[in-house]
Amino acid sequence: MVKDQEFLEKKASYCLGLAKKLGATESSVIVNNSVSETVNFRNKKLDESNRSDDLGISITTYIGKKKSSISSSNLLDDNLNILIEKCVEATKNTPEDEFNSLPDKDLLAKEVKDLSLYDDTHIENDQKIDYLKKLELAASNDKKIVNTESSFTQNKSNFILANTEGFCAGYKTSSFTASSVIVAKDEKSMERDYEYSSKCFFKDLDDAGELGKQAADQTIRKLSPKKIGSEKIAIIFDKRIAKGILSTFASAISSSAISRGTSFLKDKVNQKIFSDSINVLDKPDIIKGLGSRNFDKEGVKTDTLKLVEQGVLKHYLIDTYNGKKLNLKSNGRLGGTSNLYFENGNISFKDLLNSKSKSLYITETIGHGSNIVTGDYSVGATGFLVENGEFKYPINEITIAGNFKDMFQHITLANDLEFKYATNSPTMMIEGMVVAGK
């Protein structure tokens, strides 16, 4: 079972005490434990079981404005003694940085709200096997399916964050994740696709049969793809790809990219960077939310932020260190966003497909083609040609390219937002991008 609060707190306070004794003026520590159990199926048979029990500790020590950190998976006191001594020694030898400090005390979270992030239910491996049997049965209906690989993971985690300003808090979280990767084949091609569901509570997880069927359908429809010519065309991003564009936006407004001057969105606060109707929220207190939290990795309280209002950028994502550099207060975003999403647009998915006589619907991108310094974007893509609102045929071996500065100004969102991941977007259309194909 996952280690309890008392064990983690004891380790944390031991470390803070020892660091002080060895000469640290301030310090902070995170202790965490995560226990995961996974069962994998392949072609309707048991393929793998995997149990992991991970302990971790990371300690940051300060001597005035000097700072250093250590981390370890070995929580025996003997080992911690050696490491903390090493950490304090390294701190002494590291140059000062005027912006190094623990968070301002008045910004630390005062209370820990219960956001229903922990489900005590334990799913035995036999139950996981039942779920996967049902899933793979539903996924294997069509003769074109040649391989199915599915997985069920239960994760239970607990952590404590403590610092020498008296902060000491943490809580348990859980997740239940099912996924299925399908390979289908016809005379001309072999294609792969997937479906996935992850929830804090087991009872909220997608139905196994539905998940399997969806994964299979999404794969079969990709068979016998064509390559199209190079042209400028409206691109419609499936929700699972649109969320990635939102994540890139989040990295471009992180205070570290802003303070280092390495973001195309530097100095854009209060400027219009998206089309008029676009609103972006980061809401940490969604009940059972996959990105929900009470405070960030430094203990700073995390409130809801309306990052973009009617297309205008309102906030950066700020942590203590970079906030001090930018002369801004931390808004509790060390470690990134919580539940980040585009608010719904005002047309339906169907109307969005119908809005152009010809467009490309993208279901998968490959490659790491987002450059947040320049805003340039170029990735490999797979999807469908859409004509007059209908999926005509699958497409692959193309790239799509543009620059986020222009792309953001030409976004239209459908009204089909759902909270499937921690970062979510409705279906998204962007006009003016270039497809490279034949």
Partner 1 sequence: MNNFFEKSDISRSEAENIVSDTLSKCDDGELYLENTKSETLLLDDNKIKNSSYNSDLGFGFRAISDEIVAYSHSNEISKNSLRQSSENLKSTLKSVKGTYNHEIPKSNKKYYDNINPIEQKSLNEKIKILNEVNNYLRSKDNNIKQVTANFLGEQKSVEIIRSGGESLTDVRPLIRFNVSVMLEKNGRKESGVYGVGGRQSYDFYLKDENWKSVCDEALRIASVNLESKPAPAGEMKVVLGPGWPAILIHEAVGHGLEGDFNRKKTSAFHNLMGQKVASEGVTIVDDGTIDNRRGSLTIDDEGTPTEKTVLIENGILKNFMQDRLNARLMKTRSTGSGRRENYRHIVLPRMRNTMMLSGNQTQDEMIKAVDKGIFAVSFGGGQVDITSGKFVFNCTEAYEIVNGKIGSPIKGATLIGDGPSSLKEVSMVGNDMMMDPGIGTCGKAGQGVPVGVAQPSILINKMTVGGTKL
Give, as ranges, the residues between 99 and 138 that touch partner 1 (CB under 8 A): 125
Q: How many angstroms separate the Cα of 203 from the Cα of each of 208, 296, 429?
A: 12, 28, 34
Residue 380 in contact with partner 1, rule: CB under 8 A: yes
Residue 362 in contact with partner 1, rule: CB under 8 A: no
Beta bridge partners of 380: 366, 399
Among the residue ranges 102-110, 242-250, 340-348, 361-369, the one whose residues contact partner 1 (CB under 8 A): 361-369
Residue 286 in contact with partner 1, rule: CB under 8 A: no
Minimum CB distance to partner 1 smaller for 86 or for 110: 86
**Cα gap 432→362, rounded to integer Å:** 15
Q: Which one of 4, 17, 21, 54 is in contact with partner 1 (CB under 8 A)?
A: 54
Among the residue ranges 50-58, 239-247, 277-285, 339-347, the one whose residues contact partner 1 (CB under 8 A): 50-58
Q: Which one of 55, 137, 281, 328 is in contact with partner 1 (CB under 8 A)?
A: 55
Among the residue ranges 135-143, 295-303, 334-342, 367-375, the one whose residues contact partner 1 (CB under 8 A): 367-375
Structure token digits, residue 352: 């969005």
Q: How far is the CB of 90 from partner 1 (least distance, A)?
A: 5
Residues 60-79 that bind partner 1 (CB under 8 A): 67-76, 78-79
Q: Which strand (E) or helix (H) includes residue 245?
A: helix 239-252
Size of the site for partner 1 (CB under 8 A): 78
Minimum CB distance to partner 1 smaller for 16 or for 280: 16
Among the residue ranges 155-163, 185-193, 234-242, 312-320, the one whose residues contact partner 1 (CB under 8 A): 185-193
Q: How many angstroms separate the Cα of 74 from the Cα of each of 24, 32, 77, 78, 83?
A: 22, 12, 9, 9, 10
Q: DSSP letter at 95?
A: P
Minimum CB distance to partner 1 smaller for 35 or for 417: 35
Residue 21 in contact with partner 1, rule: CB under 8 A: no
Torsions phi, psi for 371 (to 5 deg):
-110, 110
Minimum CB distance to partner 1 smaller for 372 or for 414: 372
Residues 231-250 that bind partner 1 (CB under 8 A): 231-232
CB 183 within 8 A of CB 147: yes
Q: Which one of 168, 183, 281, 417 is in contact with partner 1 (CB under 8 A)?
A: 183
Residue 279 in contact with partner 1, rule: CB under 8 A: no
Minimum CB distance to partner 1 smaller for 89 or for 210: 89
Q: How far is the CB of 255 from partner 1 (least distance, A)?
A: 12
3-state SS assignment for residue 91: helix
Q: How far is the CB of 98 from partner 1 (least distance, A)?
A: 9
Residues 393-412 that bind partner 1 (CB under 8 A): 396-403
Name, in order, each residue with C-beta under 8 angstroms of 41's C-beta and a sequence gap of 6 or more. Answer: 47, 129, 132, 133, 135, 136, 148, 149, 150, 151
Q: Which one of 101, 354, 355, 378 is in contact with partner 1 (CB under 8 A)?
A: 378
Residue among 2, 41, 338, 51 nearest 178 (CA) = 41
Q: How far is the CB of 37 from partner 1 (least distance, A)?
A: 9
Residue 224 in contact with partner 1, rule: CB under 8 A: no
Minimum CB distance to partner 1 smaller for 108 or for 372: 372
**Cα gap 338→144, rounded to integer Å:** 40
Q: Which strand (E) or helix (H) includes residue 322?
A: helix 320-326
CB 254 within 8 A of CB 423: no
Residue among 178, 171, 159, 170 nearest 118 (CA) = 171
Residues 322-351, mask of contacts with partner 1 (x by CB under 8 A): ------------------------------
Name, in order, each residue with C-beta under 8 angstroms of 285's C-beta and a sequence gap of 6 or more. Answer: 113, 115, 292, 304
**Cα gap 277→429, rounded to integer Å:** 13
CB atoms within 10 A of CB 382: 20
Q: How far is the CB of 216 from partner 1 (least distance, A)?
A: 14
